[in-house]
Structure 1
Amino acid sequence: MDFLMVVHSKAVPTVISVLLWLLISCSLNYGLQGDIDCLKSIKDSLEDPSGYLNATWNFNNNTEGFICRFTGIECWHPDENKVLAIQLSDMGLKGKFPPGIKNCSSLTNLDLSNNELFGPIPVEISKILPYATSLNLSSNNFSGQIPENVANVTYMNALNLDHNRLTGQIPPELGLLPRLKNLTVADNLLTGPIPNFQISIPADSFANNPGLCGKPLDPCQSTETRAHRGMIAVAAAGGVTVATMAVVIIIIIILAIRRSGYRSALVQPYNVRKEEEG
């Protein structure tokens, strides 16, 4: 009986250890499969006219770390299908922002710059790239507003959105990013005041946005200044209107006087003739 109890006491921890190992293995395999699905989605959603992706992105290989040998892909470990960075710059890729990137759950660096991507930046960008430290979408044709949700990507060190067609204001929330070191939004169609950032950002980072104002660019016109100028403009317009009406009235009076004088000239000879006849 004691022997059975000893065997049982040793067997239970062993069984628990095995079950725990199986649970961790399944979770790990699922995570790795998610990264494979992530890259499949990117390849399927983007046009690749130059064939950069087709040349090496072969999903028929099932060896450990096979996706880590894809062009533009860096893994946490070369023998583990866990994507650390996606760098697909200057490949002539076409399409919208690939939503499947969210399946690369440990991604920290995304560079899609110098391509022909278009459409809006996803509103829920923080859910797609929760651990991103660097995001480079420059030199594309992205349009719409910069999502304020970017401010929830709290690990962000570098955000590069220049040379696109982004509109609206820079979300004030971006000024609260605690780790932000570099930001550039030059050559867009942005308007409004530049947020207060915790770091010093050069004027070049905001250049060629005709509607942007505030430090480090020219100061924004205050509401009072705009209102004062508006009142001056209204007053000036009103003054012109009053002057015009005064001129019209004077002309009418002059014409009336002239007509009155003309009638007097006609009536006077008639009266003189009457007196002579009498």
Structure 2
Amino acid sequence: MIDDRAALYQPSTLTRQAGNAPGRACERGNNNRPVFNNNPPAFIGGQFQDLMTLLQQLLDQLRGPAPAPVTSVPLSPPEQDQLRQLLGFDPGAPFSVNVLDNDGNGQLSTGDTAVVSGGITGGEILRHDLNDADIARLKPGQGQLPADFQDNYTKWQSFSNGHADLPVSYTTRQSCFCPQEITQPLNVTEVNGEIVSVTDSSGRPVADYVRGSVLSIGQRFEQLQNAYLNGAETVNASYDPTLGFPVSVYIDQSSMVADEEVSYSISNLNYALN
């Protein structure tokens, strides 16, 4: 009887696709054992690269855009001395003080982070998140409106409410790093607190960009109020003794920031009686 077991086993004749020799059968060494090429198939290399690219794109989407760096609050020398003292250092100590503007408003405010650096290494020594009590000590006048502002605002409101439909005209002059068309004397007319006309000294209407730079008297009071409540470094204002409107104003939010001062005058105010 023939033994079929020998017939069941035959050496494989399948070829193996090598990376650089497609369709090439495996070779045999001196010991008659198969010798295979260890290079990965070419199609695997290409697919692997595509997969890695796709994974990198997915990771980039999951991470999202990088957060914007936190800027620092501009500090005057007196403010730096106050902060050193607040944080337990001598006001004149040779340590630098930096405040991270966490809320992005450009001012010392609750939630900002004070960082003290220096010493032998010059590195960070102390980090402190400013709270309401800290801000109250650093800016005792912040959040308060001076009595003269409130008194004169009341005067102007009383006049405005009693003469709501009357045209009010006056001359205003702004001081800033602006074109001469904006800093020249401008004649303004308001009705019901809204500007209806802005002309130059010869009576000609000004360009739109010049008109857009002019605020009504009501808006000027709002500007002053915001300066007081936001702790502007310097606010100088004088008012008309009868009607209360501001006749001369200078606002400097921070001496460490250039070209952000507000300065203007209002004169020759007239109104027509029925």
TM class by shorter chain equals: under 0.3
TM-score (norm 1): 0.24
Which structure has more RCO (C-alpha within 8 Å, separation ≥ 6)?
Answer: 2
Q: TM-score, normalised by structure 2?
A: 0.24
**Whose strand fraction is larger, Structure 1's or Structure 2's?**
2
The answer to which structure has the higher helix fraction is: 1
